[in-house]
Structure 1
Amino acid sequence: MSFFNSEKLQATQKANLDLLQQISGKVFASVEQLSQLQFKALRDSTEEHFEGVRKLLAVRDPQGFADLQASFTQPSAQTERLAEFNRQVQALIVGTQSDIAKLTERQVEAGTQQVNEFVESISKNAPAGSEPVVAAFKSGLANAGSVFENAQKAVKQASDVAQSSFDAATAAAGKTAPEAGAKATSANK
């Protein structure tokens, strides 16, 4: 009697190929979204630079030049745009990571189920007296499953901490930018 079922093996290989295709699709979609974000940021930055040159060319007196120079030292709009870009990139990364984790988690669960079925099949057909070995093997599989679950929880917690730190840093940068702009404006007067 054979413990290996060729149909199950083929189904597993197909499931793994489907998983790889789904992960590739998620990665490509994320790269496309990132490219769109970068293109939009580049376009907005270019427009802002051209607008700045237009304003410079429209200056007719020293007071107008001083006012224009003071407006360039106020980084709040640039800082806010950069912070928003960083938030969007961070959200894209977190979303992609989460989607891939969900896909792989389902595949790992299916693989674990297949391994458990295989072990059950072996234990039913094992010779008498091999119960301690089968029990030790089952215990090892259960421990490996626990380690995997704990690792998943640790990665999730680390991801949450990183997201919280990023949010806090973004909020702090958003508060200090207007203060720096106000100080620069006061220094120019």
Structure 2
Amino acid sequence: MSFFNSEKLQDAQKANLDLLQQISGKIFSSVEQLSQLQFKTLQASTEEQFEGFRKLLSVRDPQGFAELQASFIQPNVQAERLADYNRQVQALIVDTHSEIAKLTSRQVEAGTQQVREFVDVISKNAPAGSEPVVAGFKSSLANAGAVFESAQKAVKQAADVAQSNFDAATAAVGKTAAGGKADSK
């Protein structure tokens, strides 16, 4: 009797190839979204610069120049734009990470199930006296699963901490920008 099943190996290889294709697709999609965000931000910044030049060219007296100069040094507007850009980039990163984690988790679960089935087949056909070895192998498999779950939880917690730190920093920038508005009035 053979423990090797070529159909299962082929199915596993196809599943791994599909996973790789899905991850690549998600990464390419995320890079495309980031590029679009950067392009829109650059375009808006360029338009703002040209509008600033137009305003500068339309100044006719020192009072108008002073008002124009004051409008350019509004840190709250710049800080809010930067915070908005960073929020969008952070959301893109979190979404990409989440999707890839889901894809890989499903694949790991499927692979773990295949290994369990293989161990069951081996344990049913193992010679007498090999029960301790099979039990040790099953125990190792269970421990590996627990380590994987712990690693997933740690990564999720780290992502949550990073997100909350980012949210706190964004809120602080928003408060600073709001304080700048109050000071300029």
TM interval, short-chain normalised:
over 0.9
* Structure 2 Cα separation of the partners of residues 131 and 178 of structure 1: 70
Partner amino acid, structure 2, of 1:144: A
* Structure 1 Cα separation of the partners of residues 76 and 53 of structure 2: 19
Q: Contact 1:119 / 1:138 at 8 angstroms: preserved in 2?
A: yes
Aligned twin of 1:151: 151
Percent identical residues: 79
Q: Contact 2:77 / 2:177 at 8 angstroms: preserved in 1?
A: no
Give the alignment's TM-score, normalised by structure 2.
Answer: 0.97
Q: Contact 1:75 / 1:178 at 8 angstroms: preserved in 2?
A: no
Shift of 1:30: 0.3
What SS does the corresponding residue of 1:151 show, helix, strand or coil?
helix
Shift of 1:174: 1.3
2:67 equivalent to 1:71: no
Equivalences for 1:1-189 in 2 at 5 Å? 1-180=1-180, 183=183, 185=184
For structure 2, the 5+ residue unaligned runs are none
* Structure 2 Cα separation of the partners of residues 179 and 49 of structure 1: 25
For structure 1, the 5+ residue unaligned runs are none
* Structure 2 Cα separation of the partners of residues 146 and 81 of structure 1: 44
* Structure 2 Cα separation of the partners of residues 28 and 73 of structure 1: 38
Shift of 1:180: 4.0
Partner amino acid, structure 2, of 1:29: S
> Per-residue CA shift, 1:84-104, capped at 9, x if unaligned?
111010000000000000000
Q: Contact 2:76 / 2:176 at 8 angstroms: preserved in 1?
A: no
